[in-house]
Amino acid sequence: MNAQDLASVDKRKRDAMVKELNLNEVQVTMIDTVFFQYGRQLNELDAQIQDIETSGEYAEEIVVVRVSVMQQEKKDLREVRELDLKMLLRPEQVVIYDEKIQPDKPKVLHFGIHNRADCNVCEK
C-alpha cells in the first residue's frame, strides 16, 4: 500500500502533516505505517458494511443494527489512529497538529431556533 492507496481524506491529512509539521524521515515512515495499517482495517470494515447492505440475507432491522455497530467500530479505529499519530510527534508538533491539521470540533451544534441573547456562540 502506498500514499495513492489511502482514502482521499487520509491522503490530504498525511500530506498536511508532512508539510506543516516538518517531519523527519523516521516520522514520515512511521506515520505512513500508521495510516496504512488503519486504512486497511477501515477498508475491511467498509467492505463488510457493503456486503451486509447488499446481501439481502438479513432483515432491515438487523442490517441497521449491524451497520451501526460497524460504523462505531470505524469511529473508534479513527480515534485510536489519532492517538497513535500524536504519539509519533514531538510536543511542539502536537501543538501545530491540534491547531492546523486536526482542530477540535465545536462542542455545540449551533442551529435551530433559540434565544440569541443567552447563546454563548451568538455573542461572539
Q: Which domain holds residue 35?
A: 3-118
Work out the mean pLDDT of the chain and round it to a whole number.
87
Model confidence at 124: pLDDT above 50: no
pLDDT in tens, 27-74: 999 999 999 999 999 999 999 999 999 988 889 999 999 999 999 999
Number of domains in the chain: 1
pLDDT for residue 76: 96
pTM of the model: 0.76
H/E stretch holding 111: none
Cβ atoms < 10 Å from Cβ of 113: 5
pLDDT in tens, 62-82: 999 999 999 999 999 999 999
Is the residue at 124 inside a domain?
A: no
Alpha helical stretches, state H, the chain: 8-20, 25-55, 60-87, 91-96
Is the residue at 93 inside a domain?
A: yes
Read off the C-alpha cell for 31. Answer: 506515520
Contacts of 61 (CB under 8 A, 6+ apart): none
80: number of CA atoms within 13 Å, CB side? 12
Is the residue at 24 inside a domain?
A: yes
Is the residue at 123 inside a domain?
A: no
What percentage of residues in the chain have a pLDDT greater than 70? 81
